[in-house]
Amino acid sequence: MAAATHRCRSCGETGLVPVLDLGLTPLADRMPPASHVDRDEPRFPLEVAFCPGCSLVQILETVDPGLLFDADYPYFSSFSRYLLEHSRANVLDLIEARRLGPGSLVVELASNDGYLLKNYVEHGIPVLGIDPVPALCEAAEKIGVRSRAEFFGLDVARRLAGEGFRADVIHANNVLAHVADTNGFVAGIAALLKDDGVASIEFPYVRDLIDHCEFDTIYHEHLCYFSVTAVDKLLRRHGLYLNDIRRLPIHGGSLRLYVGKRDEPGAAVRNLLAEEAALGLDRVDYYREFSARVAGLKSQLLALLRRLKAEGKTIAAYGAAAKGSTLINYVGIGRELVDFVADRNVHKQGRLMPGQKIPIVAAEEIAARRPDYVLLLPWNLESEILAQESAYRAAGGKFIIPVPVPRVA
Ligand SMILES: [Zn+2]
């Protein structure tokens, strides 16, 4: 078993226990151009394992970041309105709770095009965005968000601290689980944070992934799947402490951690750690039966799509997101079942879904071509997308929601 040669991304332990194998899979965020319809794509093993040493759930394969994030990577995400409002509310809370002002500094890691930090700029609070993609930093600078194009880690943090940057607040949303050097990233946060500063860190919660069968949130860019137990051990190794925590509905169920340099865990942290111990998130058995449920979802969804096709129905899909790629490739949904994938992001239109090579078209094609059914790939945005497509539904169109159990809406 490949796991024997791997070390835990957090604690370094060997002897990781495989719990789910999604097979040889193309990179989920790499949509090939339409002209590549007959070309093979690189495929990599996608296998999930549990660490008995620190409880961290992780994938075994680390794809070279140069391959993952090359010039073809779709950098400019189409942010949902919900995500933008969610970020803004968090910022306003922190400005008040931390009494931030013109003498403060807020740093964001993986700052993208500055959509979060611009909320601080509007309040006159100095910011620094760090993102590895130069084009994103340029876009952020245009809206007044000071940015640096760097891969964040301990070296960059020390250099910034040497230049006098010390952060009152550090934001790290949906990045900790994606970085190959997990310990270097957390050590960097410790080096850049003021002694009384706070880091606000968000990532999907592995408990929601398992409980709601969200296997399609597993892909090669997403290396770690944290429980509170596992992240607590990671933080402590670097002199950081989990002091408050919230469960959020975003991305199918996420955690927001509030982390500082003093060990003062609030009731929410103590309660979640106790719940995880009671449920067994620190033991491999909790993850083992997940594999059987994922296989059950696959056969149910395939049976539903094949039955509709046999009845002469037309089927499309909506949302060319990474999770859609994992889902169609693992379940085996190709052009014989789904005619096209509609997406609002113009950078994805005219391309193909990885592996299955289903064409990606404009969202308006749903209204124009009126398929009988639409498979909703970003099921986490169900209410938002169903509201956008109310005219299609009013005219008799139906959505298929694949997770946690396939159903028609
Ligand atoms: Zn470990």
Cα 259 to ligand 1 centroid, rounded to whole Å: 20
pLDDT per position as a tens digit, 204-261:
999 999 999 999 999 999 999 999 999 999 999 999 999 999 999 888 899 999 999 9
273: its two tokens = 């750690």
The dihedral built from the CA positions of residue 391, 397, 213 and 220, taken in this order, carries a sign that is negative
Residue 20, classed as helix, strand or coil, is strand
* 55 CA from centroid of ligand 1 (Å): 6
Q: Is the pLDDT of residue 69 over 90?
A: no
Mean pLDDT of 319-347: 94
Q: What is the distance in A from the centroid of ligand 1 to the CA of 54?
A: 4
Question: Which stretch of 65-74, 151-160, 373-382 has the lowest confidence by average pLDDT?
Answer: 65-74
Distance in Å, CA 17 to ligand 1 centroid:
11
Judge residue 276's burial from the number of C-beta atoms within 10 Å of its C-beta, 0-12 exposed, 13-18 middle, 19 or more buried: buried
How far, in Å, is the centroid of ligand 1 from the Cα of 51?
A: 5
Count Cβ atoms within 10 A of the Cβ of residue 195 and give its class: 0-12 exposed, 13-18 middle, 19 or more buried: exposed
Compute the mean pLDDT over every residue in the chain, rounded to the nearest whole number: 93
pLDDT digits (tens, 9 = 90+) for 145-160: 999 999 999 999 999 9
Contact 151, 162 (CB under 8 A): no
Q: Comparing 179 with 66, which gets the higher pLDDT?
A: 179
Both tokens assigned to 369: 């071509």
Spacing, Cα 15 to ligand 1 middle (Å): 10
Does residue 74 register a pLDDT over 70?
A: no
Task: Report whether pLDDT(294) > 50.
Answer: yes
Residue 4, pLDDT above cutoff 70: no
